[in-house]
Structure 1
């Protein structure tokens, strides 16, 4: 499984155009979580979207709502699509695990991306979230429902997913200075996603 986790970036780059088309044509069944995220942010907030994909529908919705988006994805094809669709926003080709942008954001997203990281890489992301979070800031990501690794499939290729358990996520969030404000396990109104919404403390 570790080997499959190392193929995530090449997997998405290989299937980038197909994935983009499938995502745009699919129903947006997780929008209720983005609405919670957006509803708790001030107008014009700066948002860091980690694993932004091709920017549709999430980054486009954020930009149209007046937010300033910085999108990060390791797929050059995805970032090229983002730049063509939303040239006024900032787009960066990078591995989310190694970024250090030197600035902070009012909101940080790792939606439908964080769960592709190996367990140890997920643990290492929480200091990175904190490094890029203003005080206060919102953090939203989704995971699996319980500890473990799983292999899905997309276009005939295996697709790696992993999750820690809920208690460890809570501990990692607390250690990074975040408080959980909303959490759902396999939310039936969001395509079965297990979602986390947290807030960093104000200074």
Structure 2
């Protein structure tokens, strides 16, 4: 799916998303597990940050400065209202470039919207943006390939390179896999925590 089209789809549900997830506990235990692999503080990147909320607040409480990225202009607008002290960028992770490196990167329920052929390049990009001892947590589907699904009376695109290729890419990029879990079994939702050990 063209990221611009995906952004507009999320524009249409941005306020609903904010209401549903601003105070939710979804993904919190997983995020806190990842944060436990390094000392508090530093620079964090939230890829597919949505409207901000629970993840940003936890990172702030752990003394991180947080940069958020999202393809939805409406999500970014709400995130800026929620967290005026943090920078949020309306951009496509496929095209995003930065000279900054980060101590903690989270991409929760966002990379599974990538065009299939962009999974490995984007994952390598994120791995390359980690400082030494930096931690990456992200989620993906365990089914290899592409599909579409209906949600909020609209069609959304999903894809994944599967567990094996995700792990191989992380290892190739010099990261150690600290935790991998099918955390919503029997749904095919996987999250992984990896750390740059050099």
Using the size of structure 1 for normalisation, the TM-score is: 0.88
Paired residues in the alignment total 198
- Deviation above 6 Å: which 4+ runs of structure 1? none
RMSD: 2.1
Which residue does 1:176 correspond to in 2? 173
C-alpha contact (below 8 Å) 2:47/2:68 kept by paired residues: yes
| Contact 2:116–2:161 (8 Å) recurs in 1 | yes
Is the 1:145–1:186 contact (alpha carbons within 8 Å) kept by the matching residues of 2? no
The reply to whether residue 34 of structure 1 matches residue 22 of structure 2 is no
User: Which of the numbers 71, 75, 81 marks the counterpart of 1:74?
Assistant: 71
2:127–2:170 Cα contact (<8 Å) kept: no
Structure 1 segments unaligned to the other structure (5+ residues): none
* Distance in structure 2 (CA, Å) of the matches to 1:68 and 1:192: 32
Conserved? CA contact 1:46–1:67, under 8 Å = yes
Q: How far is the alpha carbon of 1:76 from its aligned partner?
A: 1.7
Q: C-alpha displacement at 1:164, in angstroms?
A: 1.2
One of 136, 139, 142 as aligned partner of 1:142? 139
Instruction: Tell me which residue corresponds to 2:104.
Output: 107
Residue correspondence of structure 1 range 1-203 to structure 2 within 5 A? 7-24=5-22, 27-188=24-185, 193-202=189-198
Normalising by the residue count of structure 2, what TM-score does the alignment of the two structures yield? 0.90
**Shift of residue 169, structure 1, vs aligned partner:** 0.9
Q: Which runs of 5+ in 2 are unaligned?
A: none
